[in-house]
Amino acid sequence: MFNVNPFSDLSEIISPLVMQGFIISMVALIAIGTIIQMIHHKNLTYFLSNAKKAKLNATRELGIGERTSIIAKTTVVDIGTTSELGFGKRRLAHVLGMYGTILFWLSSAMLVFCYTGVDKDNSELWSTLWHAGAILTCLGGFWFWFFLRVDVSAEAHPWYRIIKADLFVLALLACSTFGLAWSYTQFNGQVGLSFLFLSLFIAANLILFGGVYWSKFAHMFYKPGAAIQKNLAEADGSRDNLPPPADAPEQFGLGIKREEPKHY
């Protein structure tokens, strides 16, 4: 199952052009939802205003080489490894989910555009990456959902409590889960279940990409920009208009040793 392109069998009843058009439509929904959210929430206005204030408060001028180095390091370390979460379970779960999702989306596009249709060869590599990406997304996502969410682990809310902010992670998990279920049932010739899971897979994608405005989807674009701006501000001395750190050592008292830190 893992080395079989699930979209190839689907092309017998749905044209590859329709599948390609669906992916393009999902990308368009991301762009539209993000732009509308930026306009409504004034995110871009905030970033530009903050950058202008930081430039006025800067104590030194950054050269092009230093600025490029900071941006590259932030991209590789802070963004690429979610280093702001520190070492631990939360960081591992986020890394699994992040790279699993990237693999899942990238391999979906490759399989549909390059390996689905008449006279198109099967790519075992991309098919395997598609299934592996979905599995990694499920591992990181379900681990986060059931055990690591702040309101569950630190505030004792039940795992089934759902709020609007959960739309992104739930839709993402639904896409990966129903995608794997569709691939499995299609491979085993279970026509009825295959059609059911395919329908749920499509619906989950529509909710995920169509709900960008209401979910945390757009945060994937905001957080890298915020991380880069933060590191540039520390390097040029503006520090996002915050005071410098105190010279005195940190004093937390013995009470901090009484329990594992889990209050975020």
Predicted pLDDT at 258:
63
pTM of the full structure: 0.80
- Does some domain include residue 190? yes
Classify residue 253: in a domain, yes or no: no
In a domain, residue 243? The reply is no
Report pLDDT for 42.
Answer: 73
Neighbours of 231 (CB within 10 A): 16
Residue 257 domain flag: no
The whole-number pLDDT of residue 259 equals 63
Question: How far is Cα 2 from Cα 249, in angstroms, rounded to an integer?
Answer: 54
CATH number at residue 159: 1.20.950
pLDDT at 235: 78
Identify whether 263 is part of a domain.
no
Q: Which residues of the chain have a pLDDT value below 50?
A: 264
- Here the tokens at position 105 are 């989306």
63: left (phi over 0), alpha (psi -120 to 50) or beta: beta
Number of domains within the chain: 1
Question: What does the pLDDT look like over 43-73, one tens digit per residue?
Answer: 767 777 777 777 777 777 778 888 888 888 8
Q: Are 236 and 54 in contact (CB under 8 A)?
A: yes
Q: Is residue 35 part of a domain?
A: yes
- Quote the pLDDT of residue 150: 64
Q: What is the DSSP annotation of 34-89?
A: HHHHHHHHTHHHHHHHHHHHHHHH-SSPPPHHHHHHHHHHIIIIIITTTGGG-SSH
Tell me which residue range forms the domain holding 108. 6-236
DSSP codes, 93-141: HHHHHHHHHHHHHHHHHHHHHHS-STTPPP-HHHHHHHHHHHHHHHHHH
CA 71/CA 197 separation, integer angstroms: 42
